[in-house]
Amino acid sequence: MITMLLPLTCAARTEGDQWIKDSVGIAKILHSVPAFRGDLGSRLAAGAMGVEGIRLHKMTREDIAEDPLHWSLGDVELHILTTGEPEAAGCKILGSPRIIKRGKRYFPQDRTSMWLLTGKCALPD
């Protein structure tokens, strides 16, 4: 159900969002996120995905009201806009993952981000 809500709610969230589109800023964010066997930047490259931008969205009270069991005030959603045809050896991923950052922890929000962060081909809990 979460994945069904995300496309609807994200369309309305544009004010106050920060877009990172320069290669240095993108690399800085991607290489700071720990992932399965390395960092997010190396995982995306291993999956044949490039990155054209990252949208950072700080969760609002309205966002929290939509899904209080998964989101908290202070959370930041990273929506990574990928290019290329994702390759994940037997795992059907689509690219453009969404990840929630809470403090120093990262929570996958879709199958692609689950595969990138944990190496598991599954939907997040």
Tens digits of residue pLDDT in 61-102 = 999 999 888 889 999 999 999 999 999 988 999 999 999 999
Query: Above 90 in pLDDT, residue 7?
Result: no
In a domain, 12, yes or no: no
Q: What is the number of domains present in the chain? A: 1
Res 15: pLDDT: 63
In a domain, 24, yes or no: yes
DSSP states of the chain: -HHHHHHHHHHH--TT-EEE-SHHHHHHHHTTSEETTEEHHHHHHHTT-EEEEEEEEEPPHHHHHH-TTT--TT-EEEEEEEES----TT----S--EEEEETTEEEE-SHHHHHHHHS--S---
User: pLDDT per residue over 108-122, tens digit each?
Assistant: 999 999 999 999 999
Res 45: pLDDT: 95
Q: Provide the whole-model pTM.
A: 0.83
For 40, the domain range is: 2-6+17-118
In a domain, 11, yes or no: no
In a domain, 70, yes or no: yes
In a domain, 90, yes or no: yes
Res 14: pLDDT: 56
In a domain, 123, yes or no: no
In a domain, 64, yes or no: yes
